[in-house]
Amino acid sequence: MKKIVVVGSSNTDMIMQLPNIPRPGETLSGGVFTQAAGGKGANQAVAVARAGGAVAFVAKVGQDEFGNQALAGFCAEGIAVSAVTKTAHAASGMAFIFVDAKGENSIGVAGGANDLLTPEDIMQQTSQIEQADILLIQLETPIAAVQKAIALAHVNHKMVILNPAPARVLSEELLAQVDILTPNETEAELLTGIVVSDEASAQQAAQILLGKGVKKVLITVGKQGVWVAENGQIELVPGFEVEARDTTAAGDTFNGALAVALAEDKDLKSAVRFGQAAAAISVTRLGAQPSVPTRNEIEEFLNKN
C-alpha cells in the first residue's frame, strides 16, 4: 500500500450551533455546544485513515490536555504519530466555530502550537517524507514550514497535493513544485484574480495556475462539484445532492479521500468522485473529525449514487 504523509495543523474545535451566526455586538442565546477534534491537517490525516489509507502525521501540539486528547485520537485512528511533537512554548491550537441552521459556519482560530512548526521541525522528519509516496499539505501552519515540506517531497519525487487553505498568496516557486492543487472558488480567486462562476472562468483560473507550473488543478465549487483541469482540458465532475448540516471539514475530507484514491492508483476523475462522496457524507454531520466517513460508508454511498 502506498503511504501518505500529512503535514499540518491540529486544533480542538469549540462548536456552537445557533439559528444564525451572531453579528458584531450581537448576543444570541439558545445555542447547543459541542467539543470536537479539528485542524485542517488533523482532519485530512483522519480522512485518509478512515478512507483506508496508510498515513503518518507531522504536526505540533501543546503540552496540555488538548494536545494529549489529540494524540490519543490520532492513535485510535491508526495514524502514525512519531512526528507529532509537543511544545511548552504555546497552547494547543483552538478553533471557535459558529454554525447556523443552514449549515454555514464562521470560524476563529488561535493557532498556538501550530504557529511554531518550523522548517527545522520539517527537516527532522525528512524520513517521514522520504518513506511516503504522497505529501498532503495545507496552509494552516507557517508558510516556511510548508515550503520546506513541499521542497523535500518534490526533490524526492513524491506526489504533492496542496490544499491552499486558508487562502493566501503563494509564490510561483512553490506552485511549480505542486502536482495537484485543490483550491475552492475563494482560494482560486486569490491565486489568480479570476472570479470562478462558470466553465469559462474556471478554465481561465485553471490555465493561470497551470501556467505557474502546477501539474493538475481541482477547483472545488461545493455541491456543484469539482472543475478538473489536466492536459489542457477542463470538465466539471458533478457533486452529490445532500442536505447539509455542517460544512466544517468538507474540504479536508475531500482532500484526504482524494489522496487515498490516488494512492490506490485510481484515475483522477474516479479519485475526485471518491473524494466528493466522502465530503458529501461529512456535511450531513456536525463537527470536523466526527463527520469524516469510513471506507465502508463511502463505498456504500457511491453504490447508491
Whether residue 216 is annotated as binding a ligand: the answer is no
DSSP state of 113: G
Q: Checking phi first, is residue 118 left (phi over 0); if not, alpha (psi -120 to 50) or beta? A: beta
Whether residue 156 is annotated as binding a ligand: the answer is no
Whether residue 141 is annotated as binding a ligand: the answer is no
* Alpha carbon distance 148, 160 (integer Å): 12
- Cell readout for 171 is 509564490
- Cell readout for 187 is 482560494
HSE, CB side, 13 Å, CA atoms: give it for residue 5. 26
Q: Which residue has the cell 495556475?
A: 209
Whether residue 40 is annotated as binding a ligand: the answer is yes
Whether residue 225 is annotated as binding a ligand: the answer is yes
The one-letter code for the residue type at 167 is A
Whether residue 252 is annotated as binding a ligand: the answer is yes
* Alpha carbon distance 133, 153 (integer Å): 9
Whether residue 294 is annotated as binding a ligand: the answer is no
* Alpha carbon distance 38, 259 (integer Å): 19
Q: Which of 121, 252, 265, 267 is catalytic?
A: 252
Q: Which residue has the cell 526533490?
A: 155
DSSP state of 189: H
Whether residue 12 is annotated as binding a ligand: the answer is yes
The one-letter code for the residue type at 272 is V
Task: Output the CA–CA distances (angstroms, integers) from residue 1 to 81, 157, 259, in the order listed.
Answer: 18, 17, 12
Q: Checking phi first, is residue 15 left (phi over 0); if not, alpha (psi -120 to 50) or beta? A: beta
Mark whether 252 is an active-site residue: yes
Whether residue 291 is annotated as binding a ligand: the answer is yes
* Alpha carbon distance 139, 137 (integer Å): 7
Whether residue 195 is annotated as binding a ligand: the answer is no
Whether residue 47 is annotated as binding a ligand: the answer is no
Whether residue 10 is annotated as binding a ligand: the answer is no
Handedness of CA 165, 167, 168, 169 (dihedral sign): positive
Give, to the nearest 10 degrees, the angle between helix 40-50 and helix 250-263.
Answer: 50
Whether residue 295 is annotated as binding a ligand: the answer is no
Whether residue 251 is annotated as binding a ligand: the answer is yes
Whether residue 282 is annotated as binding a ligand: the answer is yes
Whether residue 9 is annotated as binding a ligand: the answer is no
Residue numbers belonging to the annotated binding site for substrate: 11-13, 39-43, 140, 252
Residue numbers belonging to the annotated binding site for K(+): 246, 248, 282, 285, 287, 291
Residue numbers belonging to the annotated binding site for ATP: 184, 220-225, 251-252
Residue numbers belonging to the annotated binding site: 11-13, 39-43, 140, 184, 220-225, 246, 248, 251-252, 282, 285, 287, 291
Q: Which residues are catalytic?
A: 252
